[in-house]
Structure 1
């Protein structure tokens, strides 16, 4: 039986995560449920998109991913089920899959239409759970929805490229546990537009013209340890997910500070890369 994962903005205080899991276990005894994250900022679609993009491919093909972020079912926020890259995604049609679908085409895509058979207003508990359990039993998407051709994209998930091809307009889409500010600019986009040219990265009052490979590359290990003075110094690198990240060395937003606190690089803060001819 396939795995079902959960990514939501429910947090841990309220009963919602437990209720969703209980509803799944009622339907499928012995199913494996994995929590990817329940700490997505409320209604933050870009943050959810970043998290699911960088987690789903670690699971086996056939895994079913429930994404319960901004998921209330309305005429403008329909529910969809997608077979993409051999994984199933069940979510609202609110753009949350934009990061994944930017380079991939769905194998199947349906608008879920079983809501009239369910008498609850907790959409993740009802329509999403019923759809996930149907798929886990070997059911097809066509039984729970009608085929559609496309789903929505959202502003902010994909960076904008200037017509001149000299500037990338990005923004911070995620703050990690260390306070590092992760942008929507990927290494692929940087290499494609930059073509090896010199560059300047501007983020609020900060300017950078070098991208490091690792956090520790900021250190000159030839200096004595008490002479290094690197704690809190800013740096830029492509993180393990190949997203451009602005960080400080050994940051901690609760003590010494971090890129998000020291530089003011919170969610949606603009990050601009300007390329210059060599």
Structure 2
């Protein structure tokens, strides 16, 4: 009984997600379908890659992941199926798969060639579901595609280290449900460049001299609860995925706001880490 996950930018207002699930059940009624997210920002490859990269490892090996973001077939946007880290990914060649495989080499990669209609404007339902259920039944990738080795690279959102090794310039990668701002700067990169030096995180007109490992680390629990004023405090931390994150303690976008709204940060905005001499 195969697990098939869905990650799309389709939202939930329209019929798209239900139609995809219906197609999967029609081809393979015993499938288990899990929604990872349908609220990816439209055509945002980086956001999609960040979410699926941090979700797929929680699933058992053999899970099949359909990614429906910018999936229309074109000469520059082939349909691919990839076996990576024991998981199957079905996606267009738009950069998402290269971001997923940036640190792990794919075990197999094919370009899908089972299209009956090259002008199909709903390939996630009409093609990706067929590939997913084929795999779910134990089918081989070679049956539905040909070997492929030209993954489209996305290189314009990689952090940059200056020549003197005292500054990292990164970007906002993702804004989560709470308005927390995730950057493409990792704990590993900071530690590699720091070499024991102290550093400061620079965000617009704000500076953070301390980077926490958990949200509650910014709270002084020695102060009686009724005297604390921690809600709404700005903080920098390494999140569960070890990305540098800018957050507001106990934020709420619908009431007090979050880091994205209060600090005026959005996708691709610049965040820097300055190292002391």
Normalising by structure 1, we get a TM-score of 0.95
What is the aligned partner in structure 2 of residue 105 from structure 1? 105
Task: Check conservation: 1:118, 1:127, Cα contact below 8 A.
Answer: no
Instruction: Name 1:14's counterpart in structure 2.
Output: 14
SS in 2 for 1:185: strand
1:10-89 equivalences under 5 Å are 10-89=10-89
Q: 2: distance between equivalents of 1:177 and 1:251?
A: 10
TM-score by length of 2: 0.95
- Please give the residue correspondences for 1:219-234 in structure 2 after superposition, counting only pairs within 5 Å: 219-234=219-234
Gaps in structure 1 of 5+ consecutive residues: none
Unpaired runs of at least 5, structure 2: none
**Structure 2 counterpart of 1:260:** 260
Q: Is the 8 A contact 2:99 2:154 kept in 1?
A: no
| Cα distance between partner residues in 2 of 1:212 and 1:272 | 16
| Residues 30-39 or 205-214, more deviating | 205-214
Q: Aligned runs of 1:133-148 on 2, under 5 Å?
A: 133-148=133-148
Name the SS for the 2:96 alignment partner.
coil
Residue equivalent to 1:270: 270
- Is contact 1:156–1:171 with CA below 8 Å preserved after alignment? no
Does the CA contact (< 8 Å) of 2:90 and 2:128 recur in 1? yes
CA distance in 2, matches of 1:42, 1:82: 23
Distance (whole Å) between structure 2 residues aligned to residue 275 and residue 49 of structure 1 = 29
- Structure 2 counterparts to residues 113-192 of structure 1, below 5 A: 113-116=113-116, 120-192=120-192
**1:196 CA displacement:** 2.3
The number of aligned residues is: 277
Q: Which moved more, 1:94-103 or 1:233-242?
A: 94-103
